[in-house]
Structure formats: C-alpha cells, structure tokens
Amino acid sequence: MEFSAEISRISDRLRISDSVLFITGAGLSVDSGLPTYRGIGGLYNADDTEEGLPIEEVLSGEMLRSEPDVTWKYLSQVSQACRRATFNRGHQLIAQFEYSLPRVWVLTQNVDGFHRAAGSTNVLDIHGDMHDLCCTECTWQDWIDDFGELDIPPECPDCGGLVRPQVVLFGEMLPFDKVDRLHAELSEGFDIIFAIGTSALFPYISEPVYAVVESDTLTVEINPDVTELTDVVDIALPMRAVESLERIWDQSGLDVT
C-alpha cells in the first residue's frame, strides 16, 4: 500500500509518545464540504470582491469599523459556506488521539469550531471561532450557529452597538492569551508535530515545525499540495487528511481511554 513505510514509522512513534501537537488548516475541513479558501481560516480564492477590493481589505478590522455592512456581507457568506456542515472523521480521530495519549494539543487556523464539536478540548483556535459573537461597545456575548438569523450588520440587543464575530480579521493582533499558551506548550516540547491541511504561510503556524528541526521531535506533514514545510518535515504524506489519519490510527493500536 502506498506510503506504508511512512505510516508505519509514524504509528510506531505514536505508541511510545506522550505528547503530540496537531497543526491544522482549511484542508482538514475539506471532507466536511468546506472549500480551502484563501484568507482567515480559509476564505476566498478570488483576488477581488464585488466591490473591487481585495478580500484582505474587506475582511479587515479597519473596514469593519468604517463600513461594517461590507465586512458583514462577506462574513455572512463565510457562515453560509459552513451552514449544515459539521466535523468529519479527521476531526474525530484527532480527538481520539487526545483521549489516548497523555498530552495532545491542537493549533488550528480554522474558524469553523469543528475541533471542539468533535470532542477535542485542548484547542488553540488562534484565529477564533466564527460562531462566537460579541459587542464592540459592551460586554454582551453569544454563540450562534447561523448568521442568516441576523440583521446585517447586526446590532447588540443590549446597547445597540456593532456586533462582530470573535475572529482575527486582517490587520488585527492575535489574541495574547492564546499566543502565550502556545508558547508555554511549545516550551514543554512535543514528541510528534503534525501539520495537516495547512499551507503554513503564517509564521506562527510554521514556527513550531522549524523550531524542532534539529531535535528528536518527529515532524509530519499531511497535505496533497506542496508547501514550504514539505522539504522541512521528516515525513511528508501527499494525501488527504482523513485517509492518512485513519491509517495512522489503525496501525498505532491506540485505544480511547
């Protein structure tokens, strides 16, 4: 079977590992029916929007403040892409690894919330979750599954202020608490680091892999496409996420505790 030696090497290492980091991107959610968009956790392939502006400008913090109706138009389209979609077997398998090994963390670029929905608890959703809403002027917060229920742009039911999803828009800072937690976990080290379905264009996504190149940590990329990590990792599997994870799980012989 194709890549059997590589799968066996990964599975053998998992059986003697205590700690694993899964770094995930939009490619993991392909089997949930979501496209591998460009942008925040995966957004758009087109260079420009209907307004003739780059998506990076439309989905920026500055645009949200100045023209919230434009930003929310495209946030709503992202929500529509996620509608009726849910976590897939790949998300479930990553959750199973968490319940089978002493220490497993997920660092994800995705804003779909599928990792937690599938059962993972140690999740650093570095770009946030589209479903978590907050008011920009008061302390109101809520979780909503479908933006179709909202007026665009939505107003806070408590104070009338502008509501936004708690995601990192272009030009905004990453959340300090999640960055600090990531650094703390990285300082403890991992036996294996997986990069799954991510182009690894953001430095904070590729950094954990580059940082362990000279160490005993086994690094694995699972991605049908070539990325900047392909020639850096110890093992590169040019495969879809679900197929790879299923084979690795089966051969590892691990059990959910």
Q: Distances in Å between the alpha carbon of 112 and those of 24, 25, 177?
A: 12, 11, 20
**Phi, psi of 7, deg, nearest 5:** -60, -40
Active-site residue, selected from the candidate residues 91, 127, 131, 183:
127
Q: Where are the alpha helices (DSSP H) in 176-227?
A: 176-188, 203-210
Q: Any catalytic annotation for residue 91?
A: no
CB 215 within 8 A of CB 232: no
Placement of tokens 């077997």 in the chain: 89
HSE of 109, CA atoms in CB hemisphere, 13 A? 27
**What gap in Å lies between CA 225 and CA 26, rounded to an integer?**
12
**Per-residue b/e over 58-87, b at no fewer than 16 CB within 10 Å?**
bbbeebbeeebebbbbbbbebbebbeeeeb
CB 58 within 8 A of CB 38: no
Q: Which residues are catalytic?
A: 127
